[in-house]
Amino acid sequence: MPQLNLHHLQIQQLTPISLEVAAGQCITISGPSGCGKTQLLRAIADLDPHQGEIRFNGIAQSEIPAPQWRRQVGFLPAESAWWRERVGDHFSNPESALFGALGFSLDWLEREISQLSTGERQRLALLRLLDNGPEVLLLDEPTANLDQSNSQRVEQLINSYRQEHQTTVIWVTHDQSQHQNSSCHYCFMNGKLEQQKWS
Amino acid sequence: MELIQLTPWDLSLAAVLVLLLAGLSFHLQLGIEKRLTIAALRSAVQLSLLGLVLKVIFTQSNPLTIGLLTLFMLLVASYEVMNRQQRRYRGYWGMGVGIFSMFLSSFSVTLLALLVIIQVEPWYTPQYLIPLLGMMLGNTMTGVALSLDNLNQNAWQQRASIEARLMLGHDWHTAIAEIRRNALRTGLIPIMNAMAAAGVVSIPGMMTGQILAGSPPLEAAKYQILILFLVSASIGLGSMTAIWVGSKHLFDERQRLRLDRLTQPKR
């Protein structure tokens, strides 16, 4: 049984999207800006009103209370937002192994958000999301603000998390190498989400 | 002490002051002369009309006309609440939030004062009901307007962090709790300032009026204290209701942040 199932999901003026992603599978999505990539992820996370059906493990989105759905289906937006001053105030049970994997230590919990760079915030936002133990990951260009080595750390962390927890991953990215590492690549073309074949 | 009657001549002298201010604004290009003159004219016309209407209502003491007048007051106050907002709710909600919250707070506090505290017979005696309700509505209007304006502005500005919390599985209460607290504080600041300054810095308008009209100062003070307490209860209750109802309306049944339910600010 597929883990995440989209059926005739209607976003903006696009052709309705139907898609199945199995447990532990990672798909990547690309397309020009403004084509609906972020809108698609926001609809799956149930942040915007939408038409069509989304199921997770066979249960419809509407049957699960919204906060619980969003804990299961974790969305990492392109820009991270924080609501308290200290990093640690945003975590419930931070794991040093995960922090170490992205080049942080638990000392970073004491840091002030305002003193962090965009890239640091972006990586910490991923840790904050994983802290929730999501079963689906919706990633909106998670490595866009990162240098090569941090980019690789993030990719490795996501892949090991996916393999360990059999997480379904939908990854929006413009990075060619990330497309090739995924099991399936989709591209928005002319208002339609189409699967790309590797030659 | 006799009540000294004001003649039209007395009032025109005071009006000259406003005209001087308007002239000064014109001369200094402050650009408020038009609005100032209109506001002054409005208040003169509205208060004179009110005087005439109250004269009729006080002599008739007909529950129906009194009811209609209170309804009219409520509608005007709600319109003012809506009008003072940068980002107001679309559709019926624009007025609805104000009507509901001020009806719940001002009307119930006024009723409590009439039935339990002042114990007027009958309770709808217009000499008591209308001025009391006016005082409640006027002040609650300011509190509700400030609270809602603050709530909606902050929700708009901090939408990214509200959504960040929703994405992490927080419910809508938690996601907007701090913004809500702030909004309530903002709505209550004027009345708290007024209570702190009362009698030391300023003599409140009602007490001034009573003293000028010949009441003994201590009696006037007691009424003023009563009014201040009632007004703060009404503002607090009204602002809390408005913030509760308003913030709930910013989210839909799936706890999504729905800022599309607010209008764009006026230029």
SS (H, E, C) chain B: CCCCCCCHHHHHHHHHHHHHHHHHHHHCCCCCHHHHHHHHHHHHHHHHHHHHHHHHHHHHCCHHHHHHHHHHHHHHHHHHHHHCCCCCECCCHHHHHHHHHHHHHHHHHHHHHHHHHCCCCCCCCHHHHHHHHHHHHHHHHHHHHHHHHHHHHHHHHCHHHHHHHHHCCCCHHHHHHHHHHHHHHHHHHHHHHHHHHECCCECCHHHHHHHHCCCCHHHHHHHHHHHHHHHHHHHHHHHHHHHHHHHHHCECCCCCECHHHECCCCC
Is A49 at the interface with chain B, CB within 8 A?
yes
pLDDT band at A196 (very low <50, low <70, confident <90, very high): confident
Domain ranges across chain A: 4-196
pLDDT per residue as tens digits for the range A38-58? 999 999 999 999 999 999 999
Specify the higher pLDDT residue, A181 or B9: B9
User: Minimum mean pLDDT among A63-77, B160-174, B201-215: which range?
Assistant: B201-215
* Three-class secondary structure of residue A52 per DSSP: strand
pLDDT per residue as tens digits for the range B13-67? 999 999 999 999 999 998 889 999 999 999 999 999 999 999 999 998 899 999 9
Among B14, B39, B60, residue at a domain's last position: B60
User: What is the distance, to the nearest Å, from the Cα of residue A46 to the centroid of all Cα atoms in its chain?
Assistant: 13
Instruction: Kindly state the average pLDDT of the residues B91-106.
Output: 96
Asked whether residue A198 carries a pLDDT value surpassing 60, the answer given is no
Asked, for residue B267, whether it belongs to a domain, the answer is: no
Among B45, B60, B75, residue at a domain's last position: B60
Query: From CA A183, how far away is CA A84, in angstroms rounded?
Result: 38
| Alpha-carbon distance values, B173 to A46, B104, B179, B181 (Å) | 17, 22, 10, 11
Query: From CA A149, how far away is CA A156, in angstroms rounded?
Result: 11
pLDDT band at A78 (very low <50, low <70, confident <90, very high): very high
Is A36 at the interface with chain B, CB within 8 A?
no
pLDDT at A199: 44
Is A77 at the interface with chain B, CB within 8 A?
yes
Domain match, B34 and B117 both: no
Domain match, B42 and B69 both: no
Asked, for residue B197, whether it belongs to a domain, the answer is: yes
Domain match, B39 and B129 both: no
What is the helix (H) or strand (E) element at residue A39, kind and residue range?
A: helix A37-44
* Three-class secondary structure of residue A99 per DSSP: helix
Closest by CA to B152, choosing from B264, B76, B63, is B264
pLDDT at A2: 67
Is A192 at the interface with chain B, CB within 8 A?
no
Instruction: Kindly state the average pLDDT of the residues B217-221.
Output: 93
How many structural domains compose chain B? 2
Is A71 at the interface with chain B, CB within 8 A?
yes
Query: From CA A95, how far away is CA A170, in angstroms rounded?
Result: 24
Are residues B113 and B180 in contact, defined by beta-carbon separation less than 8 angstroms?
no
Query: Of the candidates B161, B171, B257, which has its C-beta nearest A83's C-beta?
Result: B161
pLDDT at A1: 58
**Nearest residue of B to residue A131, measured between CA atoms:** B168
User: Would the CB atoms of A128 and B256 count as touching at under 8 Å?
Assistant: no
Is B259 at the interface with chain A, CB within 8 A?
no
Asked whether residue B2 carries a pLDDT value surpassing 80, the answer given is no
Is A45 at the interface with chain B, CB within 8 A?
yes
Chain B positions touching A77 (Cβ under 8 A) are: 163-164, 167
User: Would the CB atoms of B169 and A129 count as touching at under 8 Å?
Assistant: no
User: Would the CB atoms of A62 and B163 count as touching at under 8 Å?
Assistant: no
The 10 Å CB-count burial string (b at 16+, else e) for B139-158 is bbbbbbbbbbbbbbbbbbeb
User: Would the CB atoms of B160 and A79 count as touching at under 8 Å?
Assistant: yes
| Alpha-carbon distance values, B242 to B29, B113, B258 (Å) | 39, 22, 17
ipTM for this prediction: 0.94
Asked, for residue B266, whether it belongs to a domain, the answer is: no
Sheet containing strand A26-30, strands side by side: A73-76, A136-140, A168-172, A26-30, A184-189, A192-196
Chain B positions touching A67 (Cβ under 8 A) are: 166, 169-171, 255
Asked, for residue B68, whether it belongs to a domain, the answer is: yes
> Radius of gyration over alpha carbons of chain B, in Å?
21
Asked whether residue A60 carries a pLDDT value surpassing 90, the answer given is yes
Residue A191 in tokens: 């208002």
Is A82 at the interface with chain B, CB within 8 A?
yes
pLDDT at B204: 86
pLDDT at B203: 83
Burial label, B14 (beta-carbon count in 10 A; 0-12, 13-18, 19+)? exposed
Domain at A4-196: CATH architecture:
3-Layer(aba) Sandwich (3.40)
Q: Which A-chain residues 143-182 have CB contacts (< 8 A) with chain B? A: none
Q: Which B-chain residues 110-169 have CB contacts (< 8 A) with chain A? A: 158, 160-161, 163-169
Domain match, B52 and B67 both: no
β-bridge partners, B8: none
Are residues A61 and A54 in contact, defined by beta-carbon separation less than 8 angstroms?
yes
Are residues A184 and A194 in contact, defined by beta-carbon separation less than 8 angstroms?
no
User: Would the CB atoms of A70 and B168 count as touching at under 8 Å?
Assistant: yes
Asked whether residue A183 carries a pLDDT value surpassing 90, the answer given is no
Q: How far is A137 from chain B (nearest CA, A)?
A: 11
User: Would the CB atoms of B166 and A128 count as touching at under 8 Å?
Assistant: no
Chain B positions touching A46 (Cβ under 8 A) are: 254, 256
* Three-class secondary structure of residue A179 per DSSP: helix
User: What is the distance, to the nearest Å, from the Cα of residue B135 to the centroid of all Cα atoms in its chain?
Assistant: 8
Query: From CA B166, how far away is CA B169, in angstroms rounded?
Result: 5
Asked, for residue B223, whether it belongs to a domain, the answer is: yes
Is A70 at the interface with chain B, CB within 8 A?
yes
Percentage of chain B exceeding pLDDT 70? 99
For B214, the domain range is 63-261
Chain A positions touching B158 (Cβ under 8 A) are: 83
Domain match, B34 and B121 both: no
Mutation target to probe the A interface, by most A beta carbons within 10 A, among B161, B168, B173, B250 is: B168
Are residues A61 and A46 in contact, defined by beta-carbon separation less than 8 angstroms?
yes
Q: How many CB atoms are located within 10 Å of the residue A160 CB?
A: 12
Domain match, B30 and B148 both: no
Mean pLDDT of chain B: 93
Asked whether residue A71 carries a pLDDT value surpassing 90, the answer given is yes
Which residues, including other chains, have CB under 8 Å from residue B48's CB and lie 6 or more apart?
none
Instruction: Kindly state the average pLDDT of the residues B229-234.
Output: 96
The 10 Å CB-count burial string (b at 16+, else e) for A76-92 is bbeebbbbeeebeebbe
Query: Of the candidates A68, A83, A132, which has its C-beta nearest B164's C-beta?
Result: A83
Is A121 at the interface with chain B, CB within 8 A?
no
Query: From CA A86, how far away is CA A146, in angstroms rounded?
Result: 22
